[in-house]
Chain A
């Protein structure tokens, strides 16, 4: 398979990178795991109890789970791991994942100096208790995410930063990390003692081929058994759309045009609404051709809470009207603004199209500013430009991961938009355990975000494009783009 790039780290506490995740989920197991449909199944935890109206979780661990060095996996490994995740010295990017856990945020922000105060304790070797500040409907999903996987204290302390080297690392998943040629490939081999049984594959080679057309050529020459979006340029899709090897599956990844609502001219919501109505979203699938869907709401339609009509419909006449109400009839006197985007092939097509549409439908000329990825992130964080293109991939299968993004004070809310009604809806939805009521709240919030206030213009939802060789069986992909390889097998006809 192709990873695309070198994982910055495979320490599941310090990395936030999706590429790292692809390695980690195949060498490790957490308390729970995702089924194909993204519900949670038992893993290291045999079962769990939800107590005190959703404020206390008790996980009962299996007693037959072992680390690769033979030691058993205990609740104390989880306790240490969760403390390490919140310990400010670790510098964990996903530390805010456990914000609902008692004292987690406080420890991470140094307000509570004693990390043993974290509301997550091993009661004995096989019982792990978590206490939450308030009920959180999505909490169980977090226990399937790799950020909450257990860690061996002795290994981390002995090897320091180098504990993830193939020679040092100790894991508990279906595969073992055996070789890591940096910036080139990672090799995993089967863990004979994996508690769910030895996986079918003896060895997995994960190459790091950044160029899509090269990766695709490797697939055509049978060097790769499957390729996904990372190896699919828009040109390749055209050639292979009709191939029997081609598959397409949903992905929880939404793209949007964001506004900095504190900056002119987008401090006026009429201008934002005008822009939203002047963009014909149906054009993006035609340009990108990888199965994108125009966004109907910010929450992708696979998730409860999504609605078919939260976004403003394409309506150039009304768009011009609102723009004129805001003081820019036919785009006259509209200030010069530059749309910021990160320089990638597909985003370039999108923003060039937006630029042309705004010119045609509103008569306004916007400039485009492309920045390389790092500079783009820094600019967006320090001083968000008036208008920018961005995307977001869900961390777990719940509307919360999308909607929390635009609450007041969220570190990734670059729109600087702040709406009390919205914040209240999101906060109560998180604690609401009645799914129907919860979905209603999200729908209402989505309308505020995309329609009434138009703080963002959701553009499209991506899909995962795959080419799989006929001899590769059992590839189980899910919408979070987490690729579990323990179910995969290669049949005899494979050329090698």
Chain B
């Protein structure tokens, strides 16, 4: 396994876009982690200096100030913490649950598959918002509540995707060959089918990260987001979009950061796909 991991990382190093993306993500994550410590920027995130309400970007405030006179750069740094946490945790939880669930359904087929897919259908059919309001009321409108709400809605797509891949792969010769040899089902699924179905799944996962960041943003757009003064890129974007014409710095910086993060995850996901897939020749 160590061998394999080294190869994956080694392969990624040979894909320049993915390698750069990996570093960008690492830096953003580092900033997010550092924001937990009391370094100068985070403190300004809440300080009120009403003398400079809605100041444009300048030397004093590199990204300008918001309606309450808070430094936007500080807010963005502080906000990275929540956005990155939400994006990554949701993606990982969704990936794990969804892959296992979809693999079982797709591999087993028959009645079990039908039953499991009906459960996915049901989970899909409940309005996300209803589930989110409920969780917000029961657990509170904090980070944890939002994480839970998003995680509960993120696994279903992956499950369907993996299942579809598995149904398709089941008829491939190499799987049938393995089955004919009497290999263990779990082994077949893990060794032969999973690696071959990961391409679209990993791409889907790199979509889950921005989807979660955006879902959180949509939640604050409709008024169900975080309680202030806590903030995330999503809340900053949803608070700032009306200022597009008057104070574009309020929307430009958070949106650009979401964009950069998502782009990096895409390139990384692309690289990962190649690195994991044993048949890709580079």
Q: Contacts of A213 on B, CB cut-off 8 Å?
A: 242
User: A234–B240 Cα gap in the complex (Å)?
Assistant: 12
Q: Contacts of B137 on A, CB cut-off 8 Å?
A: 375
Q: Contacts of B227 on A, CB cut-off 8 Å?
A: 367-370
The reply to whether B223 and A235 contact each other, CB–CB distance below 8 Å, is no
- Against A, the Cβ 8 Å flags (1 = close, 0 = not) of B221-257 are 0011001110000000001001101110000000000
Interface residues of B in 127-146 (CB under 8 A from A): 133, 137, 141
Interface residues of A in 338-373 (CB under 8 A from B): 343-345, 348-349, 351-353, 355-357, 360, 367-370, 372
User: A360–B239 Cα gap in the complex (Å)?
Assistant: 24
- B48 adjacent to chain A (CB < 8 Å): yes
Tell me the nearest residue of chain B to A286, going by C-beta.
B50
- B46 adjacent to chain A (CB < 8 Å): yes
User: A368–B68 Cα gap in the complex (Å)?
Assistant: 16
Q: Contacts of B215 on A, CB cut-off 8 Å?
A: none
A221 to chain B, nearest CB (A): 14
User: A239–B247 Cα gap in the complex (Å)?
Assistant: 10
Q: Contacts of B46 on A, CB cut-off 8 Å?
A: 356
The reply to whether B246 and A238 contact each other, CB–CB distance below 8 Å, is yes
The reply to whether A239 and B228 contact each other, CB–CB distance below 8 Å, is no
A173 to chain B, nearest CB (A): 36
The reply to whether B50 and A372 contact each other, CB–CB distance below 8 Å, is no
B227 to chain A, nearest CB (A): 5
Q: Contacts of A212 on B, CB cut-off 8 Å?
A: 242
A356 to chain B, nearest CB (A): 4
- A283 adjacent to chain B (CB < 8 Å): yes
The reply to whether A234 and B67 contact each other, CB–CB distance below 8 Å, is yes
A153 to chain B, nearest CB (A): 42
Q: Contacts of A355 on B, CB cut-off 8 Å?
A: 228-229
Q: Which of B50, B246, B247 contacts A283 (CB 8 A)?
A: B50
The reply to whether B228 and A368 contact each other, CB–CB distance below 8 Å, is yes
The reply to whether B245 and A239 contact each other, CB–CB distance below 8 Å, is yes
- Against B, the Cβ 8 Å flags (1 = close, 0 = not) of A316-357 are 000000000000000000000000000111001101110111
Tell me the nearest residue of chain B to A233, going by C-beta.
B242
- A287 adjacent to chain B (CB < 8 Å): yes
Tell me the nearest residue of chain B to A344, going by C-beta.
B223
The reply to whether B53 and A352 contact each other, CB–CB distance below 8 Å, is no
Q: How many residues of B contact A (CB 8 A)?
A: 22
The reply to whether B68 and A356 contact each other, CB–CB distance below 8 Å, is yes
The reply to whether A287 and B141 contact each other, CB–CB distance below 8 Å, is no
Given contacts A286-B50, A367-B227, A368-B228, contact A235 B246 (CB under 8 A): yes
User: A367–B228 Cα gap in the complex (Å)?
Assistant: 8
The reply to whether A286 and B53 contact each other, CB–CB distance below 8 Å, is yes
Q: Contacts of B54 on A, CB cut-off 8 Å?
A: 238
User: A212–B241 Cα gap in the complex (Å)?
Assistant: 12
Tell me the nearest residue of chain B to A342, going by C-beta.
B223
The reply to whether B242 and A235 contact each other, CB–CB distance below 8 Å, is yes
The reply to whether B246 and A356 contact each other, CB–CB distance below 8 Å, is no
The reply to whether A235 and B50 contact each other, CB–CB distance below 8 Å, is no
B263 to chain A, nearest CB (A): 28
- Against B, the Cβ 8 Å flags (1 = close, 0 = not) of A201-239 are 000000000001100000000000000000001111011
User: A351–B48 Cα gap in the complex (Å)?
Assistant: 13
The reply to whether A368 and B229 contact each other, CB–CB distance below 8 Å, is yes
User: A370–B231 Cα gap in the complex (Å)?
Assistant: 13
User: A351–B247 Cα gap in the complex (Å)?
Assistant: 22
B230 to chain A, nearest CB (A): 9
The reply to whether A372 and B243 contact each other, CB–CB distance below 8 Å, is no
A382 to chain B, nearest CB (A): 13
Q: Which of A286, A287, A344, A352 contacts B229 (CB 8 A)?
A: A352
Q: Which of A283, A286, A287, A370 contacts B228 (CB 8 A)?
A: A370
The reply to whether A239 and B246 contact each other, CB–CB distance below 8 Å, is yes
Given contacts A283-B50, A286-B53, contact A352 B246 (CB under 8 A): no
Q: Contacts of A356 on B, CB cut-off 8 Å?
A: 46-48, 68, 229
The reply to whether B243 and A235 contact each other, CB–CB distance below 8 Å, is yes
Q: Which of B68, B141, B242 contacts A352 (CB 8 A)?
A: B68
Which of A212, A345, A352 is packed against the most chain B CB atoms within 10 Å?
A352
Q: Contacts of B68 on A, CB cut-off 8 Å?
A: 287, 349, 352-353, 356
Tell me the nearest residue of chain A to B243, going by C-beta.
A235
Interface residues of A in 377-433 (CB under 8 A from B): none
User: A355–B228 Cα gap in the complex (Å)?
Assistant: 10
Q: Contacts of A370 on B, CB cut-off 8 Å?
A: 141, 223, 227-228
User: A213–B223 Cα gap in the complex (Å)?
Assistant: 17
12 further interface pairs, Cβ-Cβ under 8 Å (given A348-B239, A368-B228): A235-B242, A286-B50, A352-B68, A353-B48, A356-B68, A360-B48, A367-B227, A368-B227, A369-B141, A370-B141, A372-B223, A372-B224
22 contacts between A and B (CB under 8 A): A213-B242, A233-B242, A234-B67, A235-B247, A238-B54, A286-B50, A287-B50, A287-B53, A343-B224, A344-B223, A345-B239, A349-B68, A351-B228, A352-B68, A352-B228, A353-B48, A356-B46, A356-B47, A357-B48, A368-B227, A372-B223, A372-B224
Q: Which 3 A-B pairs have the closest CB atoms?
A: A343-B223, A356-B48, A235-B246
